[in-house]
Structure 1
Amino acid sequence: MGDVRRSNLALVLGRIAYAPAGVHPSRAQVASATGLTKASVSSLVLDLLDAGVIREVGLSQQGRGRPGVGLELNSARAVLGMEINVDYISAGVTDLTGNLLALETQERDNRPAAEGTVLAALARLAAKVRAEAAGSGVQVLGGGLAVPGLVDAAASRVLTAPNLGWSDVDLDLDALLPDTPLGVSLFNEANAAALAEVRHRPSGSSTFLFVSGEVGVGGGLVIGGELFTGPEGHAGEVGHVVVEPDGLPCSCGGAGCLETVAGQDAIFVAAGIDAEARTRSQSMAVLVQALQSGVPSALSSVERAGRYLGVALASTARVVNIGAVVLGGHFAVIDPWLREPLLASLEKHAPGRLPPDQVTASTLGQAGALLGAAGSVVRSLIDAPHLLQQ
């Protein structure tokens, strides 16, 4: 396929995919919007129909003329988002418009396990979710995997994931979703969750910092609706901003990082919660119950986390000139108790830089990272639909 036809194929698919909700453009409308001839559009649409990425639906009125057949993304095609985190793995199927069709999460401690063992467990979970989708007539075209660390996506390599104990680990991504035309792409967990916010948050600034609270603390920087990762792809690592110069050692090899006082384990320890004897969700439930009951150790641990989170965000906001923050992971869960000390810290260290109404909690829950990974794969497909024809 020639470069011009590939470009035009993406142009046509983009016009269909990004049409407003409820709008199903016809071939003639796509031709008018793109400047391509009706004959060219008809040929390109036929290729997209043959590839199964779009489908015909109803009739689309074209002014005073005869209505044409509407076009939309095929709801029987999907991608699979996956996540490996320190204490769980998850897999979820989304259709091409981003709707979550199925989700499975398995709590497990991945720290002592070799990467091959973790990938094998995730492959089984992915196969289960994929089979559920197939039972409903939905075909998975490919997937995205989010991990809590720095990655080289092109090489399918995790450069470093300190909380997993992984360093320069090559992943066999094809084993996660065998026999799919798009294969599996690799993403940083916080970056993927930040991209999910771009698509799914109801309103707000298109420039913001997403802060992911898990065992570690990650960050994704979004500027004008686009993820900014820096020249080596590692921008946004707010969890390793130093907030206590003489603080505790961090998994990154430094000391006094935000993660050491605001990470999940740090909060549990300060609250007196024995996380080793419970699953992650059980420990979080215990923390929330303690906060609701006004247990002093729980309140002080979250107050401390919020105060230092404010220090890190104040510094970050000044350096990258952002005026909005979205809190995810456990920061969203404990937001009712975290918010006051966080806002007080922001006002002290960066007055006026981050107004209270611009510090919001994510509504995506634990699915954010896999939704972002899946959405990125869909976006890549729309930019290069010819990949389905190879």
Structure 2
Amino acid sequence: MSVNEQAAPGRVGDVRRRNLSLVLDSIAKTGDSKPSRAQLAAGTGLTKAAVSSLVADLVYSGLVSEVGLYRDGERGRPGQGLELNTRRGVVGMEINVDYLAVGLVDLGGALRFTSAIESHNRGLAPDAVMARLSALAAEAAAAASKEGIDILGGGLAVPGLVDERHNLVISAPNLHWEQEFLDPGALLEGAPLGVRLSNEANSAALGELWYGGGGQADFLYVSGEVGVGGGVIIGSELFMGPGGSAGELGHVVVHPDGPPCSCGGAGCLETFAGQEAIFQAARIPEGSLSERMAGLVAALESKEPGACKAVHDAGRYLGVALASSARLMDLEAVVLGGHFAELGDWLKPAVLEGLNRHAPGLLQSDDLRVSGLKHSGTLLGAAGQVIRSVIESPFELILAGKLAT
């Protein structure tokens, strides 16, 4: 039976549903190796006949493509390699305080196109911000069309607590948004899987998990932007807590008598290690984000005392917050992203200093890693959540006619 026909009743349908996902996930996990049907059968424990039938459905649906010919051994016909179809893609999108960004990610996880603009979004109405982002999304759609890539859907990440089911931004203090409804689907009209709303730091953590290459199943991802966010990965799964706000590292108190924070509290890590806090402490002149970051890096490279102290202090306070987190959560590793990754060479020694002073022995130098994805992690994670939903439930999507053929 083909999955584009009526679903099989009861157990048979359930087995096929699971097996389609199993085969698709196995192809996804092999990366560049492009397994043959015989290799998939050996790896999954399914019969060769079953794998051939499942692969036929996945190829027909446009989720998998056949590439090349090679021999598994000296005898028999050459096998065809299989990969997630790079002619299918998802658009990752991000709203942050001072920029907007989009990226086109194919099903294999390659970032095929990216575009970003500086945009002062703090205090702007959501409709105005979404209108600006819509122009970038149109650029991604045009790039996909040029490369012959069908867009299945999108992911939108924002720096705040969100209710994904209702497309609601519950609270984004740095944007000054509270209880704001968005219409993410309008960014990619006609995309069969729609657009999924998520938290920026959580998306970046998932991007690191799936595309960062670290190979760790348990870690805390620290996102450095205007605010400071965190995403907790446990057993290769995102842990959000019952209210969806787990990982809010930026609002851990690191100085009881510190300055007020946008969250309404005081002395939060964000007030010492957020992007604007570092710029001000280093006395970097006003200007565009890229100009200010370039100025900070130049000052650090020339060992300007004020800049070095600003980054050192930010790293030390980050170390304090991580020390508390490590004791509370028994962390195995920490990954620094965003501007923390850009400043990694200067920041990491100070973070380790704070960790060693307040939590000696809990995290070693090798347990503190700088992300190689930098700012693209959020886009990859936002898109990757949609890609993973396809991998986990191809049967339902194909039956519903939501996948291009």
The one-letter code matched in structure 1 to 2:384 is: G
* Corresponding residue of 1:92: 103
Cα RMSD of the aligned pairs, angstroms, is: 1.8
SS of match in other structure, 1:160: strand
Query: What is the CA-CA distance between 1:112 and the residue it aligns to?
Result: 2.9
Contact 1:181 1:387 in 2 (8 A): no
Select which of 55, 58, 65 maps to 2:68.
58
Distance 2:169 2:229 in 1: 15
Select which of 141, 154, 158 maps to 1:130.
141
Contact 2:209 2:215 in 1 (8 A): no
Query: What is the CA-CA distance between 1:224 and the residue it aligns to?
Result: 2.6
Contact 2:155 2:385 in 1 (8 A): yes
Query: What is the CA-CA distance between 1:45 and the residue it aligns to?
Result: 2.7
Distance 2:381 2:112 in 1: 15
Give CA-to-partner distance per residue, 1:224-278, whole Å, 9 cap, x none. 3222111222111111100011111111111110001110111111122243xx1
Query: What is the CA-CA distance between 1:223 and the residue it aligns to?
Result: 1.7
Query: What is the CA-CA distance between 1:97 and the residue it aligns to?
Result: 1.2
* Corresponding residue of 1:287: 296
Q: Decide whether aligned partners of structure 1 residues 33 and 335 sit closer, same or farther in structure 2, where only a CA change above 3 A counts.
A: closer
Select which of 300, 305, 309 maps to 2:314.
305
The one-letter code matched in structure 2 to 1:319 is: L
* Corresponding residue of 1:361: 370
Give CA-to-partner distance per residue, 1:5-44, whole Å, 9 cap, x none. 3333222322322235323222x54445445455544443
Distance 1:142 1:226 in 2: 22
SS of match in other structure, 2:205: helix
Query: What is the CA-CA distance between 1:75 and the residue it aligns to?
Result: 1.3
The one-letter code matched in structure 1 to 2:353 is: A
* Corresponding residue of 1:164: 175
Contact 2:96 2:121 in 1 (8 A): yes
Select which of 383, 388, 399 maps to 1:374.
383
Contact 1:19 1:25 in 2 (8 A): no
Contact 1:197 1:368 in 2 (8 A): yes
The one-letter code matched in structure 1 to 2:371 is: S
Give CA-to-partner distance per residue, 1:364-389, whole Å, 9 cap, x none. 12111011111121111100113144
TM-score by length of structure 2 reads 0.90
Distance 1:388 1:113 in 2: 40
Give CA-to-partner distance per residue, 1:333-356, whole Å, 9 cap, x none. 122222222211111100011111
Map residues 252-263 of structure 1 onto 2, 5 A cutoff. 252-263=263-274
Contact 1:16 1:25 in 2 (8 A): no
Map residues 35-74 of structure 1 onto 2, 5 A cutoff. 35-36=45-46, 38-63=48-73, 64-74=75-85
Distance 2:42 2:367 in 1: 39
Distance 1:93 1:20 in 2: 18
* Corresponding residue of 1:186: 197
Query: What is the CA-CA distance between 1:60 and the residue it aligns to?
Result: 4.9
The yes-or-no answer on 1:339 pairing with 2:351 is no
* Corresponding residue of 1:110: 121
SS of match in other structure, 2:268: coil
TM-score by length of structure 1 reads 0.94
Select which of 18, 33, 43 maps to 2:29.
18
Query: What is the CA-CA distance between 1:65 and the residue it aligns to?
Result: 3.2
The one-letter code matched in structure 2 to 1:7 is: R
Q: Decide whether aligned partners of structure 1 residues 242 and 22 sit closer, same or farther in structure 2, where only a CA change above 3 A counts.
A: same
Aligned length in residues: 387
Distance 1:105 1:196 in 2: 18
Q: Percent same amino acid among aligned pairs?
A: 56
